[in-house]
Chains A and B, each alone.
Chain A
Amino acid sequence: KNEVEQSPQNLTAQEGEFITINCSYSVGISALHWLQQHPGGGIVSLFMLSSGKKKHGRLIATINIQEKHSSLHITASHPRDSAVYICAVRSIGSGGGADGLTFGKGTHLIIQP
């Protein structure tokens, strides 16, 4: 069974701080997703990664396939970044959509002004 572990579970930081959220998984994957869920519940896809690094605005996502680990970084954090950040993986062998995504439990981030 593929496990997806995120750390930390909860993170409170001051505006402007550099934020790192970590995700580890246990099996081979074809892709890793980072999602954002705001209060009110909507889920937005931030990144899909299969290797290397991606950047969008103040958000940076990296993945190390050999170590089965990914990180999501937020630079110059802002209160509007407060949300739950969710890591999800698509296992190898899901081509055909067999298993969909396996999700971590999420990291609850609060950025204080």
Chain B
Amino acid sequence: NAGVTQTPKFQVLKTGQSMTLQCAQDMNHEYMSWYRQDPGMGLRLIHYSVGAGITDQGEVPNGYNVSRSTTEDFPLRLLSAAPSQTSVYFCASSYSARQGGGYTFGSGTRLTVV
């Protein structure tokens, strides 16, 4: 049981490049979400999904796109990277969107945009 798997662990991008951060879970969790963690700030919600085919914006969605074509996968896309997107990104999942429940986090992706 792998839990939540995030790839890559580290990435350096040039301004304007695009990339996809991968997130996969094998726990049949309904709810998946992406957060960014910046120094001196709490984790902030970027996008979330309450099930396959359903996504919505969180607190800081600008510059990011998501899709949820399967229960297992929830990729985060940066369309045109900017230095302000330098951060550590975490994917997290939870069993039920309605009832909440414990969250399982991926190991994080450290992204640097130069």
Chain A interface residues toward B at CB < 8 A: 4, 30-31, 33, 35, 41-45, 48, 86, 88, 90, 94-106
Contacts and interface: CB of A to CB of B under 8 A. Distances in A.
Contact of B103 (A95, A96, A101): A101
B42 A96 contact: no
Contacts of A33: 102-103
Given A100-B33, A100-B58, A105 B42 contact: yes
Given A86-B42, A105-B40, A97 B31 contact: yes
Given A97-B50, A99-B58, 15 more contacts: A33-B102, A33-B103, A35-B103, A48-B102, A88-B42, A90-B100, A95-B97, A95-B98, A96-B97, A97-B31, A100-B33, A100-B35, A100-B48, A103-B43, A103-B44
Size class of the B contact interface (CB-based, 8 Å): 20 to 34
Contacts of B56: 97-98
B102 A96 contact: no
Interface in B3-24: none
